[in-house]
Structure 1
C-alpha cells in the first residue's frame, strides 16, 4: 500500500500544473487597472488568504485519507454532503468548459490550423489520456510536462516584461479589495478538490504544505504575467501576445499543456465527487464523461460572465471550508455517521448569504476573509454557547 502513496515532490508538481493556467493569466489581466505595485500587493494578499484555506482543506484529507467530498461528510453528514458534491461536480464541469474554450481559442490564434472545435477536441483527448494513465502513475509524464511548462512560462514572462514597457492607461477601474478577492477566489475554487490528491500523500503535512505553497507562488506568478501583459502590452488576450512575440509552437505548447494539467484535476475530481454521490459510479470513467460533456459545452455553448462564475464559487465554498476548519481543528467533531448535520447546513446558508451581501461592500481585504472569520465565530458560538450550555450538548442531526 505504501508504494501507492505519492511523494511530496509529486504533489508539488500536481499543483504547479494546476496553477499554470490560462484562467489565472486571464484573471490577472482584470487587476491591471489597479496599477502594477498595488496589483502585486493585492495578488499576494488574496493568494495568501486563499492558500491558507487551501492548506487546511488539504490537510483534512491528508490526515484522514479521505477524498474531498468524503471530508465534507465529517461536517455536514452523509446526506448533507451531497449538496456540496453536486455543486462541486457542476462547478468542475463549468471549469472544464471554460478552460477548454479559452485554450482552444488561444491555440487557434497562435497556430493558424484548425478552428476552435478542432483544438477543443485535441485538448479533450489529451486530458482523457491523463485520466486513463491515472493520478498515481503520472510521475514521469508530469515531470516532463511540468519541466516544459516551467521553461515556457519563463519565456512568456520575458516576453511580457521586456521591451519598451509603455504603461497602458485604463478607462476601467478596480478597487484594491476587489482585486484581493479575485486573487483569493482562484485557490478557493480548489478547496473541494485538494484532498482528492493529498489523501494519497506519504507525508501528509509536508505534502499539503508543499501543495499550497507551490500553488501560492505559481498562481501569483501567472496573475502577475496577466497583469503585466495588460499593463505593458495593452493586450488582455494572451494568445495575441504570444503571436506578436513570435512564440509560435512554444506558445501552443504553453496553452495546451497548461490546460491539460489543470483541467485534468477538474475532471478527475468531478469523478471522485460523483462517486461520493453514488458508489455505483466509477471515478475514472465518470471523469472521462465529464471531460466529453465539458468539450461539447465548450464547442456549442457561449461561455461568458467569468467573474460572476468566480464569485459564485467563492460564496459556496468559503463558508463550507470555514465550518470544516472549526469542526476538524477546533471542536474536533465528526458527523460522518449522521445523515444530516442540520446546524452546520444552516450555518452554511448564513455564510453563503453573508458572502453575497459582502459582494456589495468594498473592504480592503475582499469578501472571503471577513466571511470566513464571521462563519468561524458563529460556528464556535453556536456549539460552545447555544448547544453545549443551553441544550447540554444535545442536538438533532
Structure 2
C-alpha cells in the first residue's frame, strides 16, 4: 500500500482487514490528551476530596492515581501497537479466542455505559450553559458522536491537530479564573482515605484499557503508542481532577454544580462550551470501541452498522439516565479491569515477541482466569462496590465476607493496588508453568 493511500485510509470495516499505521507520537499524544480532557472528571472530583485535609493531600492522591492508571494504560496500548489488533482480539493471546468473549461481554457493557455517561454530561453541561431543556442536547450529542464514530481515524487526526489546543486554552482560562478565588479547606467530600481517593482516579485510565488497542493498532510504533497514551491521558487526568477540586474549594459546589461554578468565571460559559464540544470525542470513542469489540465475536460484522445501533441505544439510555449510579460504576470498572490488566501485562511482556497468538484458532488458557478472578475478589474484599437500592444485596454480601475474614471495612487500603498485586502474583507461576511445558 502506498504512503498516500495509507494516509487517507480509515479504520477497517471488518476484523479481516489490516489496519493502516498512520498515527505517530504527536497524534497519539493529542488523541489521549483529548480523551482525558473531560467534563466528567471535574464532576467526579467530589469523590476524590479528603474532607478536612489540606488540598495538597487530595492533589497528591490524584497524581498517584493518575500515574498508576496511566502506566497500566501505556503498557496495554504499546502491546496493541506491537500486535496491530484491537483490544478484545489482543486478549485472545491471553485467554484464547472463545474465552476472550467473557471480557468482551464486560467491555460491551462498559462501553455502552460510558457512551451514555458522556452523552448525559454533554447534554447537562450544554443545557446549563444555555439555560435550555436537556433532551435536545442528548439527541444532538448522540447523533454527532455516532457520525464521528463512522470515520474514526479522520476524527483522531482532527483531535490531535486542532481540538487539543482549543481544549488546552479553555482549561488554562478556567484555571486562572478559579485560582483568583479564595481556596478554603473543603469540609465535605466522598473519599474516606488517601488510597480510596486514588482508586477513583485510577478507574478513569483503567476504563480505557480494554479500548486502548482499538486505536493504538494504528500507531507507527509501540513506543509512540505507549508514551503517547500514558503521558497524554495521565496529564489530562491530573489537570481535570485538580480543576474540579479547586472549583469545589472556591465555590463550594459539587457534582454537576461544579459546571455552574465554572460558569461564574468571567466568560466561563465560552470555555465550558469549548470543553462540552471536545467531550464528544469520549462518546465517539466508546461507540466505536463497542463496535470493534463485537467484531471479536463475529469478525465480518460491518462496524458502521454496529456503530449506528449502539449510538441509538446510548442516546435512548441517556434520555432516562440516573447519574447517581456514577460512583459505584467507577469502582466496579476498577474491580473488573485492574486485575485483568495485571494478568495481561505480565503474560504479554514475558512472552517472546511473535509468540502472542491472536488468531481465530488461539487455544484456550483457562488457568489465567484464576488470577483475574482472584484479583477481582481481592478488590471486593478490600472495598466492596457500593450499590444503593436494589443492588444493595451485592454490597451486603461482600461486607459479610469482610466480617468473616476479619477485614476492617474502613481499612483505607487501595483496592486497585491490592487487586492488581494479587493478580500479578498469581499470574507469574501460571506463565512460568506454561513455559516449562
What is the TM-score of this pair, normalised by structure 1?
0.91
Mean CA deviation greater in 298-307 or 115-124: 298-307
Mean CA deviation greater in 353-362 or 261-270: 353-362
**Change over 3 Å in CA distance of 1:21–1:173 after alignment to 2:** closer
Mean CA deviation greater in 318-327 or 337-346: 337-346
**Change over 3 Å in CA distance of 1:301–1:29 after alignment to 2:** closer
**1:136: how far off?**
4.2
**1:328: how far off?**
1.1
**1:48: how far off?**
0.9
Which residue number in structure 1 is paired with residue 278 of structure 2?
258
Structure 1 counterpart SS, 2:23:
coil
Which residue number in structure 2 is paired with residue 291 of structure 1?
311
After superposition, where does 1:60-75 map in structure 2 within 5 Å? 60-75=79-94
**1:126: how far off?**
2.1
Correspondence 1:13 to 2:30: yes
CA contact (8 A) 2:34 2:159 kept: no
CA contact (8 A) 1:110 1:242 kept: no
**Change over 3 Å in CA distance of 1:244–1:209 after alignment to 2:** same
Q: Deviations over 1:149-172 (max 9, x none)?
A: 111111111222212334443276
Mean CA deviation greater in 59-68 or 318-327: 318-327
Which residue number in structure 2 is paired with residue 358 of structure 1?
382
CA contact (8 A) 1:128 1:288 kept: yes
CA contact (8 A) 1:177 1:362 kept: no
Indicate the RMSD between aligned Cα atoms, in angstroms. 2.2
Whole-angstrom CA distance in 1 between matches of 2:308 and 2:164: 22
Number of residue pairs aligned between Structure 1 and Structure 2 = 388
CA contact (8 A) 1:6 1:136 kept: no
- Paired residue for 1:222, among 231, 240, 246? 240
After superposition, where does 1:9-158 map in structure 2 within 5 Å? 9-32=26-49, 33=51, 34-113=53-132, 115-136=133-154, 138-140=156-158, 142-158=160-176
CA contact (8 A) 2:340 2:423 kept: no
Whole-angstrom CA distance in 2 between matches of 1:165 and 1:20: 23
Which residue number in structure 1 is paired with residue 339 of structure 2?
319
Structure 1 residue ranges without an equivalent (≥5): none
Correspondence 1:378 to 2:426: yes
Whole-angstrom CA distance in 2 between matches of 1:312 and 1:141: 29
Structure 2 residue ranges without an equivalent (≥5): 7-19, 385-408
CA contact (8 A) 1:107 1:255 kept: no
**1:267: how far off?**
1.1
Correspondence 1:267 to 2:297: no
**1:280: how far off?**
3.5
